[in-house]
């Protein structure tokens, strides 16, 4: 399964982080984003994103080489030898991030003198660190192949920063501060959305003392990132940035994507020019990365399942995102089951949601202007959701009666009687539920 999180400590120096923040601040406009993230019907409209972004949408900074040192540093970090145990730890969903300092022997720094004048480039001297590794470490399985297979659709790490351009769809700097302080649960890609996003690469540009709050949570884990840390996670993984209480939190984000599609999208946005087009053209076939995508979406589903029935079982938005994933995969029945779990995630709210859907079913049966087949289908859907959230024998009997009529009479049904009988019976059931509930004011 592709790693949920890869976390490398102190890959970039303070000076480099400040340089990146200054570059994006001076060369790219500030985009203020305030929008609601759609929730399920009947649920409160309480999910939102409030952030400031500086987006290099057409790839200008990428094409001109301004961030090549970042791409090269990332490649060198991913190539660093490591033990099997360390690979497994970093790939486990519930483990703590591996907190290693990586050398960047071949990386250059954009700051004059940094690499050779004693500034800790990635946490220490490259030569001393490499020499200290024993022969057994250097003979561990090829880390490049393991990471390349799971992160890069073409199955190999790019050979250079310039070749890496093809896998970067866009870069942006996120800025969270009071009033623009959070990004609630979301994913950045799902099946058949046309994005072909693979992994998100984040670099923490701010020092821990610059802000409070604002942790990034990926799945069931919070990432405690320090300035200069590099961390990667699948774009399909559910994640959120919690509320920033004070100060300013800046991160650089590189959106990695299948190079065939990433380069094509950037080519269109940029008006015809585009770094990385050569490698994309050489790929030849859009099917060249099919095996990668089969693994990617299979791993995404396994991750969703583990979270939905594990650490995030009580998070309604997680179940919504899982349902949207299943829906996008063409599995409507499974998606409805996930949406039901969203309504059930918080037991204190479940009874109220069940009553709301029961009421909707009653009202649907009374929609005399709607053709009867559609009226019955809508009522059945509402009642099925009500029963899924909170099973009820009377509701189940009503659903069975509707199904029997639908199967017997088909779409040409005009026989009267059932709608009114069911509606009155369900009204009585609803009245009983209301009498037993402390939430009747919401019905």
Question: Residue 399's domain is classified under what CATH number?
Answer: 1.20.120
CB 216 within 8 A of CB 33: no
| Integer Cα distance of 92 and 423 in angstroms | 51
Look at residue 179 and tell me if it is in a domain.
Answer: yes
The reply to whether 242 and 111 lie within a common domain is: yes
* 277 within 8 A of 192, measured Cβ to Cβ: no
Q: Are residues 131 and 263 in the same domain?
A: yes
Among the residue ranges 92-106, 162-176, 294-308, the one predicted with the least confidence is 92-106
**Three-class secondary structure of residue 437 per DSSP:** coil
The rounded distance, in Å, linking the Cα atoms of 325 and 339 is: 11
- Whether residues 35 and 182 share a domain: the answer is yes
The residues, ordered by sequence, that sit 6+ positions from 70 with a Cβ below 8 Å of its Cβ are 12, 20, 203, 252, 254
pTM over 0.75: yes
Q: Which pair of structure tokens corresponds to residue 193?
A: 């959305």
Looking at per-residue pLDDT, the higher value among 92 and 229 belongs to 229
What is the rounded CA–CA span in Å between residue 105 and residue 5? Answer: 24
User: Crossing angle for the helix pair 418-435 and 347-365, nearest 10 degrees?
Assistant: 150
Instruction: Verify that 61 and 205 share a domain, yes or no.
Output: yes
Q: Is residue 293 part of a domain?
A: no
Whether residue 363 is predicted with pLDDT greater than 70 in this model: the reply is yes
Indicate the angle between helix axes 332-344 and 316-328, nearest 10 degrees. 170
Q: Is residue 96 part of a domain?
A: yes
Rounded Cα distance, 382 and 386, in Å: 6
315 in a structural domain = no
Mean pLDDT is highest, among 101-110, 258-267, 360-369, for 360-369
Burial label, 391 (beta-carbon count in 10 A; 0-12, 13-18, 19+): exposed
> What's the CA angle centered on 56, arms 50 and 62, to 5 degrees?
145
Q: Average pLDDT for residues 60-88, to the nearest whole number? A: 82
Domain count, the chain: 2
**14 domain residue, yes or no:** yes
Tell me the torsion sign for CA atoms 265, 266, 268, 273: negative
399 falls in which pLDDT band (50, 70, 90)? very high
316-320, 365-369, 432-436: least confidently modelled range: 432-436
Asked if residue 167 and residue 84 are part of one domain, the reply reads: yes
Q: Within this chain, do residues 239 and 368 fall inside the same structural domain, yes or no? A: no
CA 323 to chain centroid:
13
**Mean pLDDT for the chain overall:** 79
State how far the Cα of 341 lies from the Cα of 308, in Å rounded to an integer: 9
**Is there a domain that residue 317 lies in?**
no
> Can you give the pLDDT at residue 154?
81
Q: Are residues 38 and 162 in the same domain?
A: yes
**Residues 274 and 353 both lie in one domain:** no
Q: How far apart are CA 227 and CA 232, in angstroms?
A: 15
In a domain, 321, yes or no: no
320 in any annotated domain: no
Which range of 130-139, 216-225, 280-289 scores highest in mean pLDDT? It is 216-225
DSSP 340-364: HHHHHSSHHHHHHHHHHHHHHHHHH
Give the domain range for residue 403.
Answer: 347-442
Helix (H) or strand (E) holding 405: helix 393-409
Can you give the CATH number for the domain in which 154 is found? 2.60.120.620
Classified as helix, coil or strand, 25 is helix
**Eight-class DSSP state of 417:** S
Mean pLDDT score, 33-38: 91
Q: Which of 286, 304, 337 is the last residue of a domain?
A: 286
Among 267, 286, 305, the domain boundary falls at 286
Q: Is residue 112 over pLDDT 60?
A: no
- When pLDDT is averaged across residues 39-46 and rounded to a whole number, the result is 92
> How far, CA to CA in Å, does 336 sit from each of 321, 333, 339?
12, 5, 5
Final residue belonging to a domain, choices 286, 314, 334: 286
């Amino acid at each position: 399964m592709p790693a949920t999180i890869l976390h490398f400590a102190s890959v970039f120096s303070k000076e480099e982080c400040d340089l990146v923040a200054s570059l994006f601040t001076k060369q790219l406009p500030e985009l203020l984003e305030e929008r609601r993230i759609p929730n399920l019907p009947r649920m409160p409209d309480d999910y939102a994103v409030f952030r400031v972004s500086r987006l290099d949408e057409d790839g200008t900074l990428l094409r001109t080489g301004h961030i090549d040192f970042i791409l090269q540093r990332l490649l060198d970090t991913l190539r660093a030898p490591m033990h099997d145990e360390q690979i497994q730890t970093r790939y486990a969903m519930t483990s703590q991030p591996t907190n290693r300092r990586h050398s960047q022997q071949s990386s250059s720094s954009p700051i004059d003198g940094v690499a050779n004048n004693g500034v800790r480039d990635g946490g220490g001297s490259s030569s001393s660190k490499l020499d200290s590794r024993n022969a057994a470490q250097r003979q561990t399985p090829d880390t490049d192949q393991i990471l390349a297979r799971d992160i890069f659709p073409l199955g190999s790490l790019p050979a250079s920063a310039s070749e890496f351009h093809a896998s970067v769809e866009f870069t942006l700097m996120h800025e969270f501060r009071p009033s623009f302080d959070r990004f609630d649960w979301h994913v950045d890609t799902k099946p058949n959305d046309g994005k072909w996003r693979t992994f998100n690469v984040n670099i923490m540009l701010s020092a821990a003392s610059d802000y409070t709050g604002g942790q990034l949570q990926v799945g069931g884990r919070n990432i405690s990132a320090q300035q200069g840390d590099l961390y990667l996670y699948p774009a399909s993984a559910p994640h959120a940035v919690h509320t920033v209480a004070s100060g300013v939190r800046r991160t650089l984000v590189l959106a990695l994507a299948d190079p065939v599609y990433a380069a094509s999208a950037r080519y269109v946005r940029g008006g015809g020019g585009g770094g990385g087009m050569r490698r994309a053209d050489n790929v030849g076939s859009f099917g060249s990365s099919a095996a990668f995508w089969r693994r990617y979406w299979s791993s995404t589903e396994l991750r969703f399942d583990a979270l939905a029935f594990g650490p995030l079982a009580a998070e309604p938005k997680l179940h919504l995102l899982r349902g949207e994933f299943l829906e996008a995969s063409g599995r409507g029945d499974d998606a409805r089951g996930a949406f039901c779990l969203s309504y059930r995630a918080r037991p204190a709210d479940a009874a109220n949601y069940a009553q709301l859907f029961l009421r909707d079913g009653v009202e649907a049966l009374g929609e005399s202007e709607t053709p009867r087949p559609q009226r019955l289908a809508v009522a059945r859907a509402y009642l099925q959701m009500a029963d899924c959230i909170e099973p009820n024998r009377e509701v189940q009997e009503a659903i069975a009666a509707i199904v029997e009529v639908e199967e017997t009479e088909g779409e040409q049904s005009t026989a009267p009687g059932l709608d009114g009988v069911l509606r009155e019976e369900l009204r009585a059931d609803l009245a009983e539920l209301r009498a037993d509930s402390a939430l009747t004011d919401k019905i």
